[in-house]
Structure 1
Amino acid sequence: MDPFEYLEDLEDDRTKRFIESSNAQVEKRLGQKAKEVFPSLVEKLREERPIQLLVLGNTQAILYYGDETSLEISGRRIKMESRDHVIHSLERVWNSQLVRIGVGIRGSDEGYSLLIDPNGEVVGKIEGLVNQFFYQEGKLCYVKEYRREKSPDGVEPPVERIFCGDEMFPFYPGRGEWLSVTAEEKTTALLKGRGWSEATLYVGEWPELREEDSGKISSVHIVRGRVYYLKGNDVMMDGKRLFSSNHPVEDMKVNEKFVVLNVIKDYRSSLSAFTPSGEPLWEYRGEHVYSFDLMGEDVYALETSFTTSHSLLRIRDGKPYPLRVGRREEMEVKDVYVKGDVLLHGFLLTRGKPKGVIVYGYGGFSVPVLPFSSAIFQELVKRGYSVLVTNLRGGSENGEEWHRQGMLRNKLNVFRDFSTFLSLVKSLGGRTVAMGGSNGGLLVGATMNMYPDLVDCGIIGYPVLDMLKFHKFLAGMYWTFEYGNPEGDDRDFLLSYSPYHNLKEGLPPTFVYTGLNDDRVHPMHALKYTAKSRSLGNDVMLLVNLRSGHNASTPESRAEEMAYVMAFIEECVAHSSSSLHTFTIKK
């Protein structure tokens, strides 16, 4: 019997008291220092920056985050009436000139969607966790996710279904499978995915769809009835390979003139343009292009880096023309290579000899950790710390095989990779602060259990920590394809590293934080982990943000979390006077 099982119920009075007392402890211990760093953090987060871009004919639609979230389309701004309502996603509505924005409430995934026309007018509102909008046969269609309740046909959550008008389309993926839809006139391409490595593509004239291909398929586009898509690093058309990239491909856009790929080279992203037959046209070597689209011969792109919050670019023939450039930060960015089981890469952000090193990692779900602007990293560097951003197996920085080496029964590779970076910092005499969020929270929790002597302070945000129950809550069933199934042959392996089940005495001081409105990773992970670790005598603080969730929330809410994290780092590192020598960089 798990004595902390009651913390799985957020409505239990004992859970509410636990949250209240934990937050009070954090405020008493760290509140004054957090107040000191909050203004600088919130100023950075309030800066308006574009986070997603779409092109509709000759019109750009740009989603902005900052003091308010807003959509700019045809020169008009659309803002939410309430600051608690945060726009978190933007997508085109196929077979129309509309765009759809997804709105979450206080950091939740679930909220509602608004349909916007090119004049910036709201023409529709759909409640719930819905996306992938398109029109067919005069009806508005979309994918709806059931995360808390059964689907209309009685399948347990999480599960997705397609609706056209008021009717459910007879295509039924299983629990934990996801759907993505692209449409041009009657030609429709539907992806049904299982995890982050396997999907099946269905193509046809609506509503008749046939199975076309399967594999690591993504980024589907239809141009004059031709269906283009990525299959790994191969550019495919109508089931046949056109050409391949020599580097991992993150995304693709296609029009009648060319194919543009977003590829990873040297742990940074670049745009490469080709003719439809695969002849190279031009290349733009960037830092991290995170959103782009095509308008005739031009590419419009959003880019970020460790030192620049954002750049809005128009690229023609590989030459960038900056349209908007955000705030710049002074810091030195170095490439660090270290040999573990494999050769590993990281980015060292520094301004000189630091008083401690924050070692940040993620390592999962094929997510590449590329250069990105981070308010907390910038503030830490400014205050005399260095940040080591690590590229671990489980991501896609070196392709799908790199991802597979860090998933399922290979998950221990990720923890070993992280420990290699921690060992490097330790060998140079530095204080190590292990930091990660979501899957990165799992990374830090597992690594501290396995290598407690390598970590001086742990920071675990919005984490997955109970590896025997993660699949029973909210979106957790989707992750069985990445982690394994706790109710099958993977149970013993998951138990062997589950951070919650392998807690022990003598762990380093730890700061855990989560959001009460997290409807993706249930807060029970953070709550149970904290309670159990405290029962073993460990120094663990827990902050439960009452106004946020896993998704984007207000700058003030995020700044508050970051301020407490920084206050914890200052307190933890202050217990040691050791300093870090200069890194030796392998070129």
Structure 2
Amino acid sequence: MDPLEYLEDLDDPRTKDFIARSNEESSFLRTRAKDHFGSILEKLTQEMPLDLIATRYGIALLIRSREGVVLEVNGNKFKSKNKDETFNSLSRVWNSDQVKLGVGIRGSDEGYSLLMEGVNVVKRIDGLIGDVFYYRGELCYVKEFRTESSPDGVEPVVERVFCGGKMFPFYPSRGEWVSVKAEGDRLLLVKGVGWSHKVLYDQDLNVMDEGNITSVDMKGGKVYYVKDNFLYVNGERRFKLNYPVLDMKVHDRGVIVEEIRDYRTSLVEYSLESTEVWVYPGENVMSFDLSREDVYALETSFTYSYRLLRVRNGRAEILREGLKDEVDVKDIFVKGEETLHGFLISKGGNKGVIVYGYGGFAVPLLPNFNTLFRELLNSGFSVLVTNLRGGFERGEEWHKMGMLRNKMNVFKDFSEFLKVVKMMGGKTIAMGASNGGLLVGATVNFYPNLVDCGVIGYPVLDMLRFHKFLAGMYWIHEYGNPETESDLLLSYSPYHNLRRGLPPVLVYTGLNDDRVHPMHALKYVAKSKELGNLVYLFVNDKSGHNVNYPEYTAEEMSMIVGFIEQCVERR
């Protein structure tokens, strides 16, 4: 029995007392944080589009702005009237001219969704809603049951499809996710088993294909998908793509593919005979969509916040753009077990190096105009963004090299970057959030002499109990199943491998995090304190894992900068 298990219950008076005491102990950081709050808030309220969809009403943009996150279509805006309710996602409603606007409460995933025509609300759907589509005259949607059982009695976390208020006869297991595309009377249902394996079904629930499928689309009654980096059409293999594919969309002449080339993304048009028609070499294409012969794209980088582009035959026209920042960006390569790539970003400061990583779930770390990084750069720090095994910078095999029984590779990779900074005489601040919090927690345990300060956000830290809370069942395909692979998970679990003599660490989380339970952060800090380590906890009662109101995010970021400044001064 774990004596700290009570911290898994956020309603337990002892947990509430622990949070209150921990926030009080870290409150001294607010002195430094005040110096940064205004600057960070200013950055967070500068216009930054997050996503786009081409509709018959015009290009729909989800934009972070001074008014919070707003939906904009052809200059018309729709915004929330409640600052605790934040728009956090934008997606197409298939077989319609509508889009779905996801709404979270104080940074949570779950809230409700609004179906929109232009900036007009058509319908509200409560709950944690995924893809929405119309099928044979009925409104249909995917719903996730994260904290309660599904109507057919399956325990969370589980997803079901509903049409006309009734459950569609498609029953994935716990921890499997669902996406749906629709075209007329045809459906393409995708069952995801982790972040590597997908199964494709038609509307009659016949299996069309399965395997390492990274992107799917349908047009003209045909299903297009990328499997093992080959393009398939209706199950027929057409040709090999030479770079990792992040997204693909079909148009009349062929396919538009977003590829990772040299750790940046490019948009490429291919004919169905494999001819490369044109290439737009970008930095980081966040989102793109098609409208007749045009490609509309949102792009970001380390040096500019965003560009809204119209790409025609490979030629890009900038329709709208944001801020620019003069920073020095270098591609660096480090030799470990594999040759590793990173981005070193600097404005000439020498206070220390933020070594940032993620390394999991096939998530690539690409050029990005990050608000927290910009504040740290302006405060005299450099930032090293690391591309580790477990990501997708080199494709699915690179991902597999950092998952399940290969997870230790990720920590080894991260340590190689820390060694380089140390060899150059720099101070190292290891930073990561979510799965990146797991990365930093494990690295601090295994390589304490390489870390001067650690910053761990919204983390996964108890690897024996993660599957019992919120979205944790999804992750067993990435980490392993604690019920059957406890030895593997125990070998690197940051919570279970805590020891004395670790460097100073700030752990932060939010009470509204309904994806990664705050218990990970609470238990980790309580145990580390018992061992005599210098560890601080900041629990934000106004935040969660998702997009949030600018003031709440600015408070959190300013505490992080305050901790880092104080920590490096004392090392």
Task: Report the TM-score range of the alignment, normalised by the length of the smaller protein.
Answer: over 0.9
Q: 2-side partners of 1:166 and 1:188: how far apart?
A: 18
The answer for the alignment partner of 1:494 in structure 2 is: 489
1:144/1:163 contact within 8 Å kept: yes
- Distance in 2 (CA, whole Å) between partners of 1:115 and 1:294 is 21
Amino acid at match of 1:8: E
Read off the aligned partner of 2:517 and give its amino acid letter: H
* Matching of residue 480 in structure 1 with residue 476 in structure 2: yes
Query: Is 1:274 aligned to 2:270, yes or no?
Result: yes
Retained in 1: the 8 A contact 2:436–2:459? yes
- Structure-2 separation of matches of 1:25 and 1:309: 36
Cα offset, 1:535, TM superposition = 0.3
Deviations 1:132-180 (A, max 9, x none): 1011121100011000011111111000001111211111000000001
Q: Is 1:254 the counterpart of 2:250 in the alignment?
A: yes
Distance 2:543 2:437 in 1: 17
Deviates more, 1:509-518 or 1:278-287: 278-287
Equivalent residues of 1:58, 1:295 under 8 A apart: no
Superposed displacement of residue 227, structure 1: 1.1
Q: Distance in 2 between matches of 1:324 and 1:2?
A: 55
Higher mean C-alpha displacement, 477-486 vs 425-434 = 425-434
**Superposed displacement of residue 74, structure 1:** 4.1
Unaligned runs of 5+ in 2: none
- How many Å apart are 1:221 and its aligned residue? 1.8
C-alpha distance in structure 2 between counterparts of 1:61 and 1:553, whole Å: 20
Following TM superposition, where does structure 1 have runs of at least 4 consecutive aligned residues deviating by more than 4 angstroms? none
Query: What's 1:366 paired with?
Result: 362
Shifted more, 50-59 versus 172-181: the winner is 50-59
Partners of 2:263 and 2:512 in 1: CA distance: 33
Cα distance in 2 for residues equivalent to 1:177 and 1:259: 28
Are positions 1:103 and 2:103 aligned together?
yes
Moved more, 322-331 or 408-417: 322-331
Kept in 2, the 8 Å contact 1:471–1:480? The answer is: yes
Answer yes or no: is the 8 Å Cα contact 2:71–2:77 preserved in 1.
yes
> Could you tell me how far apart the structure 2 residues matched to 1:189 and 1:240 are?
16
Aligned match of 2:508: 513
| Alpha-carbon contact 1:132-1:143 (below 8 Å) kept | yes
Matched position secondary structure for 2:102: strand
> Equivalents in 2 of 1:232, 1:575: separation in Å?
49
Counterpart selection for 1:315 from 295, 311, 322: 311
Percent identity, aligned pairs only?
59
Q: 1:353 to 1:41 in 2, by over 3 A?
A: closer
What is the match of residue 228 of structure 1? 224
Q: Is residue 378 of structure 1 aligned with residue 377 of structure 2?
A: no
SS of the residue aligned with 1:417? helix
Q: Identify which of 415, 427, 432 aligns with 1:436.
A: 432
Structure 2 CA distance, aligned partners of 1:65 and 1:352?
29
8 Å contact from structure 1 (residues 201, 217) kept in 2: no
- Give the C-alpha shift of residue 56 in structure 1: 2.0
What is aligned with 1:354? 350
Give TM-score scaled by structure 2 length. Answer: 0.99
Cα deviation 1:376-418 (Å, max 9, x = unaligned): 1111111111111000000000011100000000000000000
Distance in 2 between residues matched to 1:254 and 1:285, nearest whole Å: 19
Paired with 1:74 and 1:138, the residues of 2 have a C-alpha distance of 29
- Is 1:557 the equivalent of 2:544? no
> Retained in 2: the 8 A contact 1:217–1:232?
yes
Give 1:416's match in structure 2, choosing from 409, 412, 415. 412
Structure 1, 236-245 or 507-516: larger mean CA deviation = 236-245
Write the distance in 2 (CA, Å) between the matches of 1:40 and 1:315. Answer: 34
Partner residue of 2:423? 427
Does the CA-based 8 Å contact 1:359-1:421 persist in structure 2? yes
**Which residue does the alignment assign to 1:137?**
136
Name 2:173's counterpart in structure 1: 174
Question: Deviation of residue 328 (structure 1)?
Answer: 1.1
1:569 to 556, 564, 568: 564
1:214 alignment partner AA: E
Distance 2:226 2:185 in 1: 21
Q: Deviations over 1:12-39 (max 9, x none)?
A: 0111111111111211x21111001111
Could you report, residue by residue, the CA deviation over 1:541-577 in whole angstroms, capped at 9, with x for unpaired residues?
000011010001111111111101101110011124x
Q: Is the 8 A contact 2:355 2:385 kept in 1?
A: yes
Name 1:579's counterpart in structure 2. Answer: none
Whole-angstrom distance in 2 between the partners of 1:74 and 1:452: 52
Residue 499 of structure 2 corresponds to which residue in structure 1?
A: 504
Write the distance in 2 (CA, Å) between the matches of 1:75 and 1:379. Answer: 30
Q: Distance in 2 between matches of 1:313 and 1:73?
A: 16
Contact 2:283–2:299 (8 Å) recurs in 1: yes
Deviations for 1:62-113, whole angstroms, at most 9, x for unmatched residues?
A: 1111321111124421111111111111111111111111100000000000
Unmatched segments (≥5 aa) in structure 1: 577-587
Which whole-Å CA distance do the structure 2 matches of 1:74 and 1:170 have between them? Answer: 39
Contact 2:170 2:205 in 1 (8 A): no
CA distance in structure 2 between the aligned counterparts of 1:18 and 1:6, rounded to whole angstroms: 11
SS in 1 for 2:536: strand
- Corresponding residue for residue 190 of structure 1: 189
Distance 2:89 2:523 in 1: 31
Stretch of structure 1 that moved more, 335-344 or 316-325: 316-325
Q: Matched residues in 1 for 2:183 and 2:265: separation?
A: 29
State the alpha-carbon separation in 1 of the partners of residues 57 and 521 from structure 2.
47
Deviation of 1:124 after TM superposition, in Å, equals 0.3
1:330-341 equivalences under 5 Å are 330-341=326-337
How far off is 1:353 after superposition?
A: 5.0
Partner of 1:56: 55
Counterparts of 2:154 and 2:428, CA distance in 1: 46
Q: What's the offset of the Cα at 1:249? A: 0.5
Instruction: Please say if residues 89 and 101 of structure 2, whose CA atoms lie closer than 8 Å, have aligned partners that are also in contact.
Output: yes
The answer (yes or no) to whether the contact 2:349–2:377 under 8 Å persists in 1 is no
Answer yes or no: is the 8 Å Cα contact 2:54–2:289 preserved in 1: yes
